[in-house]
Amino acid sequence: MTIEIGQIAPDFNAKDQNGDTITLSQFKGKKVVLYFYPRDSTPGCTAQACDLRDNYQALLDQGFVILGISTDTEKKHQNFIAKYDLPFPLIADTEKEVHELYGTWQLKKFMGRESMGTVRTTFIIDESGVISDIISKVKTKAHAEQILK
């Protein structure tokens, strides 16, 4: 599935790190940063999460809700949040259902090998549930700056 700017963001129903159900529709009326990342505690993903953490108040001040999502388990998310003191929820999309909805589970090539994996992508969703921006060239160490531009 290809998601484009201007379309309604697909709603989803998934579990966060605590096993609580998160739906996109529960954030209607708020701006949402939905960021897909490959794996907890890897260098790029840690840099990205910590950049969002360090700029969390500025993002809140602009009316954003932050939702991170990867295929890691709830337990891995709990450990990642605890280790880096992350103030936002992480969705455990272990069955890749939300990844499939947003087209972020794709064939990737690395060092001549092909495998399926998460394509690091951030979707900015406005208050009415419409995708207002898609960041596909994520700067992991300056991601908040890309969002707040």
DSSP symbol at 37: -
Concerning whether 45 is annotated as a catalytic residue, the answer is yes
Find the helix or strand (DSSP H, E) in which 76 lies: helix 74-84
**Candidates 9, 32, 45, 98; catalytic one:** 45
Dmax of the chain from CA atoms? 44
**Could you give the CA distance from residue 65 to residue 45 in angstroms, rounded to a whole number?**
18
Angle, vertex CA 29, rays to CA 62 and CA 130, nearest 5: 90
Catalytic residues, by residue number, are 45
